Amino acid sequence: MRQQAGFIKAIGISSFFVCIPSEADSVSLPPLALGNASFMDGVAGPGMLLELPAQIYRSNSARDAQGHSLPGTQKVRSSTVLPHFAYFSSKTVLGANYGAEVLLPIVQLDLDIDQGPDGSRTRQGDMVISPLLLQWSPRSFLGRPYWQRLNFVFSLPTGSYSADSDINTGSNVWVFNPHYVFTWELTDRLEVSGRFHYAWSSRNNDPASALKADSIQPGEAVHSNLAVSYAVSDTWRLGVAGYQLKQISDDRIDGHRQQASREQVVGIGPGVMYQQGKQTLFANLYFESGAENRSQGTQLTLRYLHAF
């Protein structure tokens, strides 16, 4: 029963999106899994999971490469629903249960950017698949259970995209976004969880027409999610969760590095988790700060998970 409950908590939060577009004459990172990991993240076991997450992002501010607020209207509204199916086998490889998952986002964007996109669009986002997840049974670390998982995640350029469109819900790039996940149960009620990602993006050989370029390539990035929670009862957990994004290499246009193009942001806020039987609900609210070369706002993430 412990493993089944853990599966409900953990596997449903591998990747979904907030789409933060940049201006039409620049390059931006593809959508990444920011703020979609929460409490008891590393705890999982064999079984199947169906998840229905919703992520709502609101921003009226965008920041330049020095973190200064850009003038004029910088409105970004993004809502994403992401049906998600995951499976873990009871068999093992390298001592870990192995599995796979698939996610298909539906994204609604409403933008009003000075000298940039103005309008709304609801379309399919890029499909996310993981052909291999590895979940290890808990080990003892300083006398307390320590759970861990590796996930090899790929985003496919299946989302709606056109070089002539101001608003796209697809990125037109392939993304390799592996990550390591852990949960350390410090006491019977207190836990800390983390998720550490690396993101590499392929070239986009059909970039926005406004760029007048043959290809663009977003830079590499690292991003992470951290959470701490306390079980106030057998069904409720309260805590704090956060995420950070740091681009570690420059964007490229026609193979040339673009100076002052790296993005970063931090988000942190309160969260709650409710679990009853095979069903689990999460709610997390994040307030962003320290943004560079991207929007800065607030994000609400809601997730419903059902294990089978």
Give the DSSP H or E segment for 4.
helix 2-10
DSSP, res 8: H
Structure tokens at 44: 């999982």
CA 156 to chain centroid, in Å, comes to: 15
Query: 265 and 296 in contact (C-beta within 8 Å)?
Result: yes
- Residue 11 belongs to what domain range? 2-307
Mean pLDDT of the chain: 90
Residue keyed to tokens 């998600």:
84
How far apart CA 54 and CA 281 sit, in angstroms, is: 11
Give residues with Cβ within 8 angstroms of 244, minimum separation 6.
223, 224, 264, 265, 266, 267
Q: Tally the domains of the chain.
A: 1
How far apart CA 6 and CA 50 sit, in angstroms, is: 14
Q: Which of 196, 266, 265, 270 is nearest to 228 (CA)?
A: 270
Structure tokens at 251: 């964007």
**H and E: helices and strands count for the chain:** 1, 19
How far apart CA 184 and CA 242 sit, in angstroms, is: 17
pLDDT digits (tens, 9 = 90+) for 96-123: 999 999 999 999 999 999 888 899 999 9
Instruction: Give residue 4's pLDDT.
Output: 35
184: Cα within 13 Å, side-chain hemisphere = 10
Instruction: Give residue 22's pLDDT.
Output: 45
Neighbours of 118 (CB within 10 A): 14
What CATH code is carried by the domain that includes residue 69? 2.40.160.40
Instruction: Give residue 25's pLDDT.
Output: 53
Strand runs labelled E in 64-201: 74-81, 84-93, 96-103, 106-113, 118-124, 128-141, 144-155, 175-176, 179-185, 190-201
This prediction's pTM: 0.91
Instruction: Give residue 308's pLDDT.
Output: 86
pLDDT digits (tens, 9 = 90+) for 26-80: 799 999 999 988 999 999 889 999 999 999 999 999 999 999 999 999 999 999 9
Q: Which residues of the chain have pLDDT under 70?
A: 1-25
Query: 171 and 159 in contact (C-beta within 8 Å)?
Result: yes
Q: Which of 260, 266, 269, 267 is nearest to 246 (CA)?
A: 266
Among left, alpha and beta (phi > 0; psi -120 to 50; other), residue 301 is: beta
